[in-house]
Amino acid sequence: MTDTAVPPRKRLFIRTWGCQMNVYDSGRMADVLAPLGYGPAETPEEADMVILNTCHIREKAAEKVFSDLGRLRVMKEAKAEAGQKMVLAVAGCVAQAEGKEITARAPWVDIVLGPQTYHRLPEMVARASRAAGAQIDTDFPVEQKFDHLPEPAASQGPVAFLTIQEGCDKFCSFCVVPYTRGAEFSRPVAAILAEAKALVAGGAREIALLGQNVNAWHGEAPDGSTWNLTRLLYALAELADLPRIRYTTSHPRDMDEGLIRAHGAIPQLMPFLHLPVQSGSDRVLAAMNRGHKADLFLRICDELREARPDMALSSDFIVGHPGETAEDHAATMKLVERVGFALAYSFKYSQRPGTPAAGQPFQVAEDVKDARLQELQALLRQQQDGFNEDCVGRECEVLFTNPGRHPGQVMGRTPWLQPLHAEAPLSLIGTTARVRVTVRHPNSLRATLLDQKELALA
CATH superfamily of 3-140: Methylthiotransferase, N-terminal domain (3.40.50.12160)
Feature table: binding site: 19, 55, 93, 168, 172, 175
User: Helix, strand, or coil here: 229?
Assistant: helix
Binding-site positions for [4Fe-4S] cluster read 19, 55, 93, 168, 172, 175
Where do the structural domains in the chain lie, given as residue ranges?
3-140, 155-270, 281-390, 395-455
* Whole-number average pLDDT of the chain: 89
Asked if the domains 155-270 and 281-390 are classified in one and the same CATH topology, the answer is yes
Q: What would you measure as the largest C-alpha separation in the chain, in angstroms?
A: 74
Encode pLDDT of 351-372 as tens digits. 877 788 888 888 999 999 999 9
Confidence of residue 189 (pLDDT cuts 50, 70, 90): very high
Eight-state DSSP code of residue 359: G
**Is pLDDT larger for residue 307 or for residue 29?**
307
CA atoms within 13 Å, Cβ hemisphere of 440: 13
The whole-number pLDDT of residue 59 equals: 59
Q: Say if CB 352 and CB 56 are below 8 A apart.
A: yes
Residue 429 · residue 401 · CB < 8 Å? yes
Full-model pTM: 0.78
Residue 289's Cα: distance from chain center in Å?
A: 23
Superfamily of domain 395-455: Nucleic acid-binding proteins (2.40.50.140)
Q: Does domain 155-270 have CATH number 3.30.750.210?
A: yes
- Local confidence band at 456 (pLDDT 50, 70, 90 cut-offs): very low
Cis peptide bond upstream of 332, omega within 30 = no
> Looking at the predicted structure, is the pLDDT value of residue 377 above 50?
yes
CATH architecture of 281-390: 2-Layer Sandwich (3.30)
Closest CA to 104 of 75, 74, 48, 62: 62
Whether residue 257 has pLDDT greater than 90 = yes
